[in-house]
Amino acid sequence: MKKVNALILTGFGLNCDNETAHAFELAGAKSQKIHINALVSGKIKLEDFHILAFGGGFSWGDDHGAGVIQALKLKDHIGSDLLSFVAQGKLIIGICNGFQALVNLGLLPGLDNDYTKRTVSVTFNDCGNFRDQWVHLTANLQSPCVFTKDIQMADYPVRHGEGKFIADREVVDTLLANNQVVFKYADIQGIPAKGAFPLNPNGSMEDIAGICDPTGRIFGLMPHPEAYNHFTNHPDWTRKAQLLKREGKILDQEMTIGIKLFKNGIDYIKDSFF
Amino acid sequence: MICCIEIALKKELRDAEGTALIKKADSYFGINIQEARCINIVTIESDLDHLQRGVVKDEILTNPVTQVSSLKPLNIGFHWCVWIGFRPGVKDNPGATAMEAVTDHLGKNFGPDEGIYTSKRYCLKGDTLVRKDVEKLASELLSNTIIQQFKIFSIDEWNKDIGADVKPAKVILDHTPCFEVINIESDEQLAKISDERSLALNPRDIPVIRDYFLDSKVIESRKKVGLSEPTDLELEYISQARSDHCNHNTFQGIFRYKDASNNEEVVENSLFKTYIQEPTLKLKDKKDWVVSVLWDNAGVGRFDGENNYVVTGETHNSPSNMEAYGGAITGIVGVYRDPMGTGLGSKLFMGSFGYCVGDINYNGPLKPPLHPRRLLDGVIEGVKDGGNKSGVPTTFGQTLFNPGYMGKSLVFVTALGIMPNQVKGKPSHEKKTSPGELIIMSGGRVGKDGIHGVTASSESYSENTPAGHVQIGDPYTQKKMHDFLLICRDEGLIPFITDNGGGGLSSSIGESAMISNGCVVFLDRVPLKYEGLDMWEIWISESQERMTIAVKPENLDRFMELSAEHEVESTVIGEYTDTGKLHIKYEDETCAYVDMDLLDKGFPSWEFDATWLSPETRGLTEPVISSPSDFNKLLLSMLERPNLSSKEWIIRQYDHEVQGGSVIKPLVGVKHNIPSDASVTRPVLTSSKGLAFSQSLLPWYSKIDAYHMMACTIDEAVRRVMAVGGNFNHIGGLDNFCWPNIGFDPKKNPDGTFKAAQLVRACRALKEACEKYEIPLLSGKDSMYVDGHLVGEFGERVKVSALETVQFSATSVIDDISKCVTMDPKVSGDLVYVLGVTTNELGASEYYEAFDKTGLNVPHVDFDKFKVVYKAVQTAIENELVASCHAVGRGGLGVHLSYMAMAGGLGLEINLKDLPMNESRGSLLSETLLFSESAGRFIVTVSPENKNFFEKLFKGMAASCVGFVTDLHDHLKILALNKEILIELSMEELEKAFNKTFGDMI
């Protein structure tokens, strides 16, 4: 059977390539880790892939703004390839440092069909520090985002020092109106955090944790779905397993909500391209 | 042409760095700042024209959504402005990435006289701020004069056109590289030169060195290459190789041990051979999971049928005491090179930290180089940047406080890697160099970094003198190299690899050339950060982020192709030979030519007198403290103690789940805020196996007897991995010794012989523990001079020594991670069991420390008895009989029951009368039972339906049901021996106390 090809960027301090590739594989794709310079040199062609993943890490050490130099390098060398990739209706996901790169490239939020303009920013956390914690996310069911289809809520970890989503009020209102706000930080019931720390870990406007472009095919988020690739990743798994055991049940060890997100992308490609 | 670009956040945006500064200025110094804004300055020295500078500013350095920038000083109001910049030669990581970006974006190549440098200025507003306050902030909070310089401007002094007038912080040495020939006509002469040049040659080595160079055969062979007496480079090479750091002279030394209490007198010929090597090699034969120990940069154990894991640990104490951030980041990035240089190279999959610092609220007269509070801030941040930017999860860590560490604080860093057990059909843990292979240096460039350590700090500075003795690690460069080298390994391009750490090329090439039996090195080919280094400096520089690799000539092109794609600098700097000679050249001149076996020429062992005085002989007794009457208040005050309270703020700054393999996290419980016994990680994502990892530090017990300190530390580390589901048949050990000076000197170190005896005793306990628990020591290191001489109130210098400290790490491979257990009670109605006996063992406990007492009854470890229980715990967990499991540690049952109650968010009702206990070491009162730190104990919760199975399993062992878990209330209730209520505290009260000391830190 034909496989969906996912390209996971590596190199220059990116560091979630392994588990992101693993997550795509678990979700049914064929994933390849490709060094940024292999795309720059033309050794590898972007057009041979269906999904492009900008993963987490510290590209260029996060110096001069997280994701900034990565975005500039890609724009300079493969900017037009990226735009035609988008135009072909293929998928792009940016996670953490990848999300930061996407907003600096202008691929997000992609308002008015302009995929080169920087209109939003992901900047230093209000708490003043890097922070690793699990967050509850509530998904916007009206969002066109193809990755979050049938996902209402999800728990993923955040691990960043620059995750605060900000933009001009009008831009944020437009994103909300267009249902481009995909994930919001929330409490355990799924009610948005309304800025309360640590439910909203970074002070993001409107509790925004992830956005998509108007087509829903480009998606960026600060939390790490690939870090929830196995049931034992969840911080409460031992307690949940024990409580279920007392009811004579066992903890679901099948697909996590992290892998489900990648599978949605793969299913979309299968429906649209195969 | 020099230009400065200033960049700041837009006015309406919160300046998180400024906000943090305001908070710290207030809490550390009581200085009130009303507003603080931070401006980043990028100084470019280049031939870029005005247009290009605008492009750099707008397209690279400014985010249009959040930032404003200008080619002139930004007009941001202040009462005072503080500019902070690096001294020349200090690693400026953002400066380097900016050059990379400009090169890529504009296609511009930077010449040797061009460069980009970064600095910052802070605009401070405050009606009450005076220059003295601002100077204090600049020198004690914002900068460290060892690596940075600052300027202060009042608003009246500010020129808005030239601003901070930033000059490029570039190194100009203006020196023609050379080497010198050293006069060795007498021992005295060589000793004098050793002092003058900071060679630190041991006086007893000096005759051996002279004999070698005066040997007629040696003279004859050196003549052929144009050398006569030794060169400075040759003596530096010998000095490095013979240093305690590289040669472990203390652990290889001779100890004349005397025990005054029983007249025991023995000569220990080598602590390493007797107490570390011998038991470990025996266990290696017995345990087939032990793959490689005691020779490589790290030890190797089997993970599964296809993969091996690699573990090692280091300390980076002295540099961190001078410059906490730089020392700590260099430490963690440095230890991460060890697994990269083990076997044919492994991929890093986790790291950990251990910090031992003085009282962070110290306000006495002694002046350490850095106040403990500032030191801890810097160390935390250094490991954060180093670990997070390396993409390696920091899954475990501990921080402890004791006044002894104000003399020298300890920074432990540990690294674990994973590698396929075969590379191209050959075992990956084996490596060798062969004649004809090229010597390649990959990664960073060489500068005057780390040369002769801190001795350089006393040299006077000029504007362009490199401040290289304190370094700043560069995880970005190293991460690129890490990814690159793993690809080379998998393609079979690497027959040998090792890292450049202490001793630089001198150690990495010196040691690797012993395998092929010779080398020729061309120092003029080594890429430098700046011109003007002497040959010996290039040879021993400790510049970071470098690996030394052997590559066969036929594989060079492919190696270099991959190196270029990954943008890692790699250079052929020589060749391995079999000539028996270490031959070093600079252009056409030979600057070193010595025999590879020179170091085997009968250098004498170090010798120590070690005199043990038992605690009784030293007059230690149990203190006289009557039973407290308010146990609620007592327990809460214990939870507030810095060593027992929450350090969540540190753990959360570290990415502990990158790589996606987190199974048991460093913080657990319903609120994810209680420290776990151990972490469990899946290094291989397709496997259901996990690696359990724990560490222990119990230095307080050294106040009574370092033997028991060592025994208890190992016991606790083992219990911690067992508590999460560890396998008792596979426990790997890692010992990191940090000891105060043991060399006796009647004036400078009058208790040296006692500290030497403590070391011997700790080693004896190490061997006993390893034999009884069957723990091979996969790796270990020592740091032997943890003392400081601190200036006091009257200009005196007071020697402050750290406690004799060992950090012990334990690894275990768990076959099925779905069986792992966390410490939080999970279900109301579950039974609470205590495993292991509580005796009167409050000696050096946290309880006694609360009353400034030491006592005598230090906890003892009964290895034979305990291990029966540990095996039963393993069986219980593997058979899913327990719902939670926790090793009782510092603070005793009272504190650890509180941790469990908070972790579960459920009530606990406990009867002390039901505890397994005995009075063999003294009477047992409520405070003894609650706070005794007896080793070998667990608290476990068990579902009532598993009661019979569980009790059958522990039949005949010290194991009793002492209470139950309840959701009828959320209190910790403890009944005394007489069944009266001793403690009743709500969850809220416990949490408030636990978070009181550090809870508001983020």
Query: How many other β-carbons are positioned within 10 Å of the β-carbon of residue B421?
Result: 18
Q: Which residue matches tokens 């033309």?
A: A42
Residue A34 domain flag = yes
A129 in any annotated domain: no
3-state class percentages of chain A: helix first, strand second, coil last, to nearest 5:
35, 25, 40
8 Å CB contact of B479 and A203: no
pLDDT value of position B787? 92
Q: By the CB < 8 Å criterion, does A44 face chain B? A: no
Residue type for position B407:
G
Under a CB-based contact definition with an 8 Å cutoff, are residues B621 and B854 in contact? Answer: no
Q: Are B902 and B985 in contact (CB under 8 A)?
A: no
The CA distance from A197 to A199, in Å, is 5
Q: What is the dihedral of CA A43, A47, A48, A50, to 10 degrees?
A: 140
| pLDDT for res B468 | 57
Contact B97 A128 (CB under 8 A): no
Contact between chains at A19 and B685 (C-beta distance less than 8 A): yes
* Partner residue facing A128 (CB), from B20, B483, B821: B20
Residues of A in contact with B663 (CB under 8 A): 232-233
Q: How far is CA B932 from CA B633, B821, B841, B893, B993, in A?
A: 18, 25, 5, 7, 20
Domain interval for residue A62:
5-123+160-181+210-273
Pick B97's closest partner by Cβ from A61, A124, A131: A61
Does residue A230 have an active-site annotation?
A: no
Q: Over the Cα atoms of chain A, what is R_g?
A: 18
Closest chain A residue to the Cα of B102, Cα to Cα: A69
What's the CATH code of the domain at A171? 3.40.50.880
Residue A128 lies in a domain: no
Query: What's the pLDDT score for residue B438?
Result: 98
- Min Cα–Cα distance to chain B from A25, Å: 11
Calpha distance B329→B384 (Å, rounded): 8
Determine the Cα–Cα distance for residues B579 and B576; give it in Å rounded to an integer: 9
Q: Which domains does chain B have, with CATH numbers?
A: 2-157 (3.30.1280.10), 187-230 (no CATH), 821-1002 (3.90.650.10)
**Which residues are bridge partners to B809 per DSSP?**
B695, B734
Residue A63: name the closest of A74, A75, A72 by CA: A72
CA angle B405, B406, B409 (to 5 degrees): 50
Average pLDDT per consecutive 10 residues, chain B (1002 residues; last block may be shorter):
95 92 93 97 95 96 96 96 93 95 94 94 96 95 90 95 92 89 93 87 92 95 95 94 83 94 92 96 97 95 98 92 92 96 98 97 93 95 97 98 96 98 97 98 92 48 54 94 98 97 93 97 96 94 95 98 97 98 96 93 91 96 97 98 97 97 98 98 98 98 98 98 98 97 95 97 98 97 91 94 98 98 98 98 98 98 98 98 98 98 98 97 97 98 98 97 98 97 98 94 82
Residue in A38, A56, A65 closest to B63 by CB: A65
Residues of A in contact with B665 (CB under 8 A): 235
How far is the CA of B816 from the CAs of B687, B801, B880, B940, B1000, in angstroms? 9, 45, 12, 20, 38
With beta carbons under 8 A apart, name residues in chain A contacting B672. 133-134, 235
* ipTM confidence: 0.97
Name every chain B residue with its beta carbon within 8 A of the beta carbon of A224: 657, 660
Select from B480, B657, B880 the Cβ nearest to the Cβ of A159.
B657
A116 touches chain B (CB under 8 A): no
User: Could you tell me if B905 lies within 8 Å of chain A, comparing CB atoms?
Assistant: no
Amino acid at B776: P
Q: Give the CA diameter of chain B.
A: 91
Query: Phi/psi class of residue B32: alpha, beta or left (left: φ > 0; alpha: ψ in -120 to 50)?
Result: beta
Contact between B606 and B253 under an 8 Å Cβ cutoff? The reply is yes
Cβ under 8 Å to A: B residues 765-824: 817-818, 820-822, 824
Q: Is A145 a catalytic residue?
A: no
**Helix (H, G, I), strand (E, B), or coil: what is residue B24?**
helix
Among A136, A160, A224, A234, the one annotated catalytic:
A224
Answer whether A130 touches B (CB < 8 Å): yes
- Euclidean distance between CA atoms B429 and B397, whole angstroms: 28
% of chain A with per-residue pLDDT over 90 = 97
Identify whether the C-beta of residue B447 lies closer than 8 Å to the C-beta of residue B173.
no
Spatial separation of the C-alpha atoms in residues B560 and B569, rounded to whole Å = 9
- Residue in this structure with the two tokens 């050196």, named with its chain if needed: B222
B229: its two tokens: 């007496």
Give B357: exposed, middle or buried? Use CB within 10 Å, 0-12, 13-18, 19+.
buried
The verdict on a CB contact (< 8 Å) between A123 and B66 is: yes
CA distance B75 to chain A (A): 21
pLDDT (tens digit, 9 = 90+) per residue, A14-69? 999 999 999 999 999 999 999 999 999 999 999 999 999 999 999 999 999 999 99
* B216 vs B207: CA distance, rounded Å: 16
**Predicted model pTM:** 0.96
Burial per residue of A128-160, b for 16 or more beta-carbon CB atoms within 10 angstroms, e otherwise: bbbbbbbbbbbbbeebbbbbbbebeebbbbbbb
Full DSSP string of A202-226: S--GGGEEEEE-TTS-EEEESS-GG
Which of A12, A134, A159 comes nearest B658 by C-beta?
A: A159
Q: Which residues of chain A have a CB within 8 Å of the CB of B483? A: 10-11
Instruction: Give the list of residues 6+ apart from residue A23 with CB closer than 8 angstroms, or none.
Output: A225, A226, A229, A258, A259, A262, B660
Q: Which residues pair with B822 in a beta bridge?
A: none
Q: Are the C-beta atoms of B118 and B41 separated by less than 8 Å? A: yes
Q: What are the Cα distances from residue B340, in Å, to B314, B347, B498?
A: 14, 7, 8
Task: Evaluate the CA torsion angle B489, B386, B651, B118 in order and state its sign.
Answer: negative
Residue B973 forms beta bridges with which residues? Answer: B909, B984
SS3 category, B259: strand
Residue B668 contacts A, CB cutoff 8 Å: yes
Do B66 and A121 count as a contact with CB atoms less than 8 A apart?
Answer: yes
A74 contacts in chain B (CB < 8 Å): none
| Per-residue confidence (pLDDT) for residue B453, from 0 to 100 | 57
A69 inside 8 A of chain B by CB: yes
- Our CA-based measurement puts residue A7 at a distance from the nearest CA of chain B, in whole angstroms, of 17
Q: Report how many Cβ contacts below 8 Å link chain A to chain B.
A: 196
Q: What phi and psi, each to the nearest 5 degrees, are found at residue B638?
A: -65, -45
Over residues B687-712, the pLDDT tens digits come to 999 999 999 999 999 999 999 999 99
Question: Strands B907-911, B971-975: parallel, antiparallel or unpaired by DSSP?
Answer: parallel
The whole-angstrom separation of Cα B977 and Cα B970 is: 22
8 Å CB contact between B220 and B226: no
B 546-585 residues inside an 8 A Cβ radius of A:
565-567
Task: Single out the catalytic residue among A19, A162, A206, A226.
Answer: A226
SS3 B565: helix
What is the side-by-side strand order in the sheet with B254-259?
A: B264-268, B254-259, B607-612
By 3-state DSSP, what share of chain B in percent is helix, strand and coil, each rounded to 5? 35, 25, 40
Q: Inter-chain contact B682–A238, Cβ cutoff 8 Å? A: no
Picking from B94, B655, B660, the nearest residue to A226 by CB comes out as B660
Core vs surface per residue B82-97: b (16+ CB within 10 A) or e: bbbbbbbbbbbbbbbb
Strand order in the sheet with B2-9: B67-70, B2-9, B35-45, B115-125, B80-86, B148-154
CB B712 within 8 A of CB B767: no
A12 in reach of chain B (CB within 8 A): yes
Q: Which residues contact A219 (CB under 8 A, 6 or more apart)?
A: A91, A92, A93, A94, A145, A146, A147, A148, A182, A210, A211, A212, A213
How many independent structural domains does chain A possess? 1
Eight-state DSSP code of residue B58: I
**Could you tell me which residues come within 8 angstroms of residue B608 by beta carbon, excluding any fewer than 6 positions away?**
B250, B253, B254, B255, B256, B742, B743, B744, B752, B753, B756
Neighbours of A185 (CB within 10 A): 31
**A156 touching B (Cβ < 8 Å):** no
Pairing of strands B264-268, B254-259: antiparallel
Q: Chain B window 96-115: which residues touch A at a Cβ cutoff of 8 Å?
A: 97-98, 100-101, 104-105
- The partner residue sitting opposite A64, judged by closest CB among B94, B565, B567, is B94
Q: Which of B265, B401, B388 is nearest to B803 (CA)?
A: B401
> Considering only residues 603 to 622 of chain B, which have any Cβ-Cβ distance to chain A shorter than 8 Å?
none
A252 touches chain B (CB under 8 A): no
**pLDDT beyond 50 at A203:** yes
List CB contacts (< 8 A) between B98 and chain A.
63-64
Residue A260 to residue A26: CA distance in whole angstroms: 9
Distance CA(B997)–CA(B1001), nearest Å, equals: 9
Euclidean distance between CA atoms B74 and B7, whole angstroms: 8
Taking CB atoms and an 8 Å limit, are A124 and B60 in contact across chains? no
Inter-chain contact B657–A227, Cβ cutoff 8 Å?
Answer: yes
Residues of B in contact with A13 (CB under 8 A): 389, 391, 475-476, 479-480
- Residues near A261 by beta carbon (within 8 Å), at least 6 away in sequence: A147, A148, A151, A154, A225
- On chain B, the residues whose CB falls within 8 A of the CB of A60 are 97, 100-101, 476
- Closest residue in A to B668 (Cα) is A235
Told to judge if A226 belongs to the known catalytic residues of this protein, a careful annotator would answer yes
Nearest CA in chain B to A229: B660
| Cα B218 from Cα B195, distance rounded (Å) | 25
Q: Considering A16, A19, A96, A162, which one is annotated as catalytic?
A: A96
Residue A49 Cα, gap to closest chain B Cα (Å): 21
Interface membership of A127 toward B (CB under 8 Å): yes
Helix (H, G, I), strand (E, B) or coil at A27: coil
Whether A242 contacts chain B with CB within 8 A: yes
Backbone CA torsion sign across B486, B576, B546, B170:
negative
